[in-house]
């Protein structure tokens, strides 16, 4: 049985490690082989980018060697896939090598596409890459007064990031003693300040208390860089001194180039996590078209389901459980407090008041991630 995992991010790494443990006997007896193909020999802890943007972490703290995170039995190659030939159960990599499989796991992730909005690349700062997070921090250090505007592209990964950014900005400028000279204005695509109703209900009085201005039903249409104005599809505009964007995302180019899904998102069964029409192809994390948060947390819980089902298919001939839509997101509510949102397909989150211990837990998790991604936590 040949299992091929494409993608070495959170989801792919957890699946591969979990499978290697569950199937250790089968691997030793050479009845199962696990191969991982990734575009990079490094693994980034992406949630750390927000800390880089506030000068609380440095980029080198976000990386580990991918090989060091994998079980020894996993055959790992830095050789990204260029062609998916699903009808022949095989892929072709950038180097030209062909990998055949019996079971394929697709965990290729997503990418930012700020270029889809005119002026956004030139006019807005972001924090979704190492370089842009560092640049944003330098801009935050420079600013002395004026309007900091935050806009949110659709779709975007880590849906909690926009409110975390706002809380972080408030605390950052307060710590510098210039909060009264900075106007923070938040813009959000739908008719409340967060897509999760419970988060919106909780965050609104917090925004009011902190003096955050907000405008809802604001989908960015363009940035007029020369005049420092950001405009919305809904016909409104905001003048800014510093513009910060949560950029819109798409699935990876290789998914689009192989016509596997509109927008680069692969049509996926929300319970089985299999690609529609392909029972031997599993999809997880940002790669799916599911109406589920694009977060490492969702990828983690999906990876556990996928690994358990693949292992049980090999051991007893059938998958054993469905994905229930579980997501757990920390919400940093400033530089020294946090809460969390946990929900699934059937149960909305029940937000607790922010606390310092929850913030310490999040800070601990920033280190524990490396244990988690190894499949040990």
Interaction site with another protein (CB under 8 A): 154-155, 159, 189-191, 195-197, 217, 219, 233-235, 248, 262-263, 291-294, 325, 327, 341, 343, 345-346, 348-349
Q: How many CA atoms, within 13 angstroms, populate the side-chain half-sphere of residue 88?
A: 9
In terms of CB distance, is 46 or 295 closer to another protein? Answer: 295
CA distance 121 to 165: 19
* Minimum CB distance to another protein, residue 47 (Å): 16
The answer to whether the CB of 284 falls within 8 A of the CB of 265 is no
* Pairing label, strands 90-93, 81-85: antiparallel
- What minimum distance in Å lies between the beta carbon of 157 and another protein? 10
Residue (of 97, 101, 110) closest to 5 by Cα position = 101
Q: Assign 6 to helix, strand or coil.
A: strand
Under 8 Å CB-to-CB from 177, ≥6 apart: which residues?
none
CB of 152 to another protein, least distance (A): 10
Q: Closer to another protein at the Cβ: 154 or 175?
A: 154
Phi-psi region of 22 (alpha: psi -120 to 50; beta: other; left: phi over 0): alpha
DSSP 73: T
Smallest distance from another protein to CB 332, Å: 17
What is the smallest separation between the CB atom of 37 and another protein, expressed in angstroms? 27
Whole-number minimum distance, CB 202 to another protein, in Å?
Answer: 14
Q: Least CB distance from residue 339 to another protein, whole Å?
A: 15
To the nearest whole angstrom, how small is the minimum distance from the Cβ of residue 355 to another protein? 22
The beta-strand segments (E) located in 118-192 are: 146-152, 182-187
Nearer to another protein, 79 or 269 (CB): 269
Closest to another protein by CB, 89 or 195: 195
Length of the chain: 377
* Cβ closest to another protein, residue 93 vs residue 274: 274
Closer by beta carbon to another protein, 287 or else 293 = 293
Which CB atom, from 172 or from 301, has the smaller least distance to another protein?
A: 301
Q: 98: which residues sit within 8 A by CB, 6+ positions away?
A: 90, 91, 92
Tokens of 70: 């994998």
Given a contact cutoff of 8 angstroms between Cβ atoms, the answer to whether 264 and 112 are in contact is no
C-beta closer to another protein: residue 160 or 306 = 160
| Helix, strand, coil percentages, rounded to 5, for the chain | 35, 25, 35
- Residue 266: count of CB within 10 angstroms of its CB: 25
């Amino acid at each position: 049985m040949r299992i091929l995992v494409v993608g070495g991010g959170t989801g792919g790494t957890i699946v591969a490690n979990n499978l290697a443990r569950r199937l250790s006997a089968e691997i030793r007896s050479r009845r199962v082989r696990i191969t991982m193909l990734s575009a990079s020999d490094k693994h980034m802890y992406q949630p750390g980018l927000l800390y880089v943007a506030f000068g609380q972490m440095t980029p080198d703290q976000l990386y580990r060697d991918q090989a060091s995170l994998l079980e020894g039995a996993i055959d790992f190659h830095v050789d990204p896939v260029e062609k998916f030939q699903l009808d022949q159960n095989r892929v072709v990599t950038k180097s030209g090598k062909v990998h055949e499989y019996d079971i394929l796991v697709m965990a290729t992730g997503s990418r930012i596409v700020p270029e889809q909005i005119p002026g956004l690349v030139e006019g807005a700062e972001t924090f979704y890459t190492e370089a842009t997070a560092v640049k944003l921090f330098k801009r935050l250090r420079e600013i002395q007064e004026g309007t900091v505007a935050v806009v949110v592209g659709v779709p975007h990964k880590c849906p909690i990031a926009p409110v975390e950014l706002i809380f972080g900005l408030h605390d950052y400028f307060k710590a510098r003693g210039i909060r009264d000279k900075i106007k923070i204005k938040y813009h959000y695509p739908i008719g409340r300040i967060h897509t999760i109703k419970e988060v919106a209900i909780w965050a609104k009085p917090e925004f009011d208390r902190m003096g955050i201005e907000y405008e809802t039903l604001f989908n960015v249409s363009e940035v007029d860089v020369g005049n420092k104005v950001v405009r919305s599809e809904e016909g409104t505009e905001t003048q800014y001194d510093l513009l910060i964007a949560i950029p819109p995302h798409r699935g990876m180019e290789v998914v689009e180039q192989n016509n596997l899904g509109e927008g680069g998102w692969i049509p996926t069964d929300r319970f089985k996590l299999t690609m529609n029409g392909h029972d031997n192809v599993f999809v997880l994390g940002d790669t799916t078209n599911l109406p589920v948060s694009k977060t490492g947390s969702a990828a983690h819980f999906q990876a556990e389901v996928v690994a358990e089902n693949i292992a049980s298919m090999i051991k007893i001939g059938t998958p054993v459980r469905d994905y229930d839509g579980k997501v757990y997101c920390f919400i940093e509510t400033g530089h020294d407090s946090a809460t969390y949102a946990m929900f699934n397909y059937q149960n909305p989150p029940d937000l607790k008041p922010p606390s310092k211990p929850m913030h310490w837990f999040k800070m601990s998790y920033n280190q524990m991630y490396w244990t988690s991604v190894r499949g040990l936590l």
